[in-house]
Amino acid sequence: MPTSDIGLEKTLAALGVTEAAQVVARFAEVRAQFDGQFQTVHDESEWKIFRDAWLGRKSGVLTLVTDNWLKPAMPELKRVVGQQLNELRAHVESQIEARRLAVESGAEEAALTRDRIDLSLPGVLRPIGSHHLIRQVFQKIEDIFFSIGFSVVEGPEIETPYYNFEALNIPEFHPVRDDMDTFYLELPKGATTPLLLRTHTSPMQIRTMEKQKPPVRVIVPGKVYRRDNPDATHSFAFHQIEGLAVDTDITFCDFTGTIEYFVKQFFGPSVKTRFRPSYFPFTEPSVEFDVSCPFCAGTGTAASGGTCSKCKGAAWIELFGAGMVDPAVYGHVNYDAKKVSGFAFGIGIDRLAMLKYGIDDIQVFFQNDVRFLRQFP
C-alpha cells in the first residue's frame, strides 16, 4: 500500500514547510491519499494490510507523521501540526473501523449468497405414475365383492386342457371349444400334457374347489387369451373376473340378488338388471346378464333425441355370462352334488371399463400411451 511522495520520511523543515497553511496543505494531501486507498479495500486481507499501513506501530503512516513531522517540528508550528495530526488520526481510525464492519458484513452476505438454500422453492417433483384403468376397475369390482364376503384368489395363465376344459364339462370335440381352442404352447421333448394360455378364468373354479371345502366365495381377477383378431372390441388378450359361490343352500335368488347388488354398486342405483337364457357347459341353467343402459336411463333414446349410441337404441346392454354351477362340475372336485349348490359368473373387464368410461377402442388398454393413461390418474 504505497504512501509515496508526501514526504513522510522527511521533517517539515526539510520539506520547506514554515507556515501553518502549508502544514494544513500537507495534512490534506495525506488525508486525500488515505481516502483514495480506502476505496480499494474490499475484503478482510486487504483491510488488514490497509490498517497496518496506516496504524502500524513501527512504520504506519501515523507513526511516521508523529516521528518525522510532529516531534521535530519548529515550536511555532507544533500546535497546528498536533491539531492536524489529531484530526487525521480521528479520521483514519474511525474510517478504518467503519471499513472493518463493512468488510465483515460484506463477507457474511457473500457467504450467505453462496450457501443460500431457498426453503420457499418447491421440491423436486418425481412423477409416480398411476394404476392402469384396467387395474382400477379390477379394484372397484374387488371392493364391491369384498363387502359381501368374497375373497380374491389368482391362478396360472398357463393351464392344462383338463382345468381349462374337461373339468368344466367341456370334453374334447365339444363345439364350444371352437372359440377357445387357441394358444397351445410348444412343449419340451418328452412332455405329455399339453399346455395352453387359459381362455377364461373359469379353471380357477376347479382349482379353488379342489383345495377348499364349501362354503366357497371367491372372485378371480386375471388375464385370458383367445384367438381373436384385433379390432375395436377384440384383442388376443383381455381381462376377466370370475366369481364362484358354493354352499349347502345357495339358490337362484341368491345368485340374481348378488349380481343385481354388484351391478347397482358399479353403475349406480338407478340401473335395472335382467337375465336371458344362455348356454355354458359348466353352468345349468346358464344366463346372460343385461343392464338397463346407464347412458340413456334405459330408454334407448339419447338426451339429444336421437338413438342412444351406447345401447344402439336397445335400452339394454349385454354384460356377462353366468349361471348355477352344473352338478357335473362338482363330480370333478369331490363335492357332493346332492348337498351343495352355487353360482358362477365371468365378467369381461375390458368391456365393462369401455362401457363405464366411454372408451370406444379396446386396443388403447394395451398400447401404453401416456396420453390415454393420464386421463385416469
Enumerate binding residues for ligand PHE (CB under 6 A). Answer: 200, 202, 242, 280, 283, 321-323, 344-346
Choice between 61 and 244, CB closer to ligand PHE: 244
Integer Cα distance of 81 and 195 in angstroms: 115
- What contacts 94, CB < 8 A, 6 or more positions away? none
Rg of the chain (C-alpha set): 48
**Shortest separation between residue 260's beta carbon and ligand PHE, angstroms:** 16
**Shortest separation between residue 288's beta carbon and ligand PHE, angstroms:** 9
**Shortest separation between residue 345's beta carbon and ligand PHE, angstroms:** 5
CB 31 within 8 A of CB 58: no
Integer Cα distance of 225 and 236 in angstroms: 5
Choice between 266 and 289, CB closer to ligand PHE: 289
Type of residue found at 38: F
Integer Cα distance of 318 and 308 in angstroms: 15
**Shortest separation between residue 299's beta carbon and ligand PHE, angstroms:** 29
Closest CA to 89 of 137, 150, 44, 27: 27
Choice between 56 and 285, CB closer to ligand PHE: 285
> DSSP character for 365?
G
CB 55 within 8 A of CB 81: no
Choice between 69 and 280, CB closer to ligand PHE: 280
Choice between 99 and 200, CB closer to ligand PHE: 200
Q: Which residue do the cell numbers 355370462 mark?
A: 321
C-beta nearest to ligand PHE: residue: 346
Q: Which residue do the cell numbers 491539531 mark?
A: 83
Choice between 68 and 199, CB closer to ligand PHE: 199
**Shortest separation between residue 184's beta carbon and ligand PHE, angstroms:** 18
Choice between 165 and 266, CB closer to ligand PHE: 165
Choice between 222 and 323, CB closer to ligand PHE: 323
**Shortest separation between residue 369's beta carbon and ligand PHE, angstroms:** 28
CB 221 within 8 A of CB 350: no
Q: Where are the beta strands (DSSP E) in the chain?
A: 151-152, 158-159, 196-197, 216-225, 237-247, 273-280, 283-292, 316-325, 341-348
**Shortest separation between residue 177's beta carbon and ligand PHE, angstroms:** 12
**Shortest separation between residue 346's beta carbon and ligand PHE, angstroms:** 3
CB 9 within 8 A of CB 32: no
Integer Cα distance of 320 and 317 in angstroms: 10
Classified as helix, coil or strand, 40 is: coil
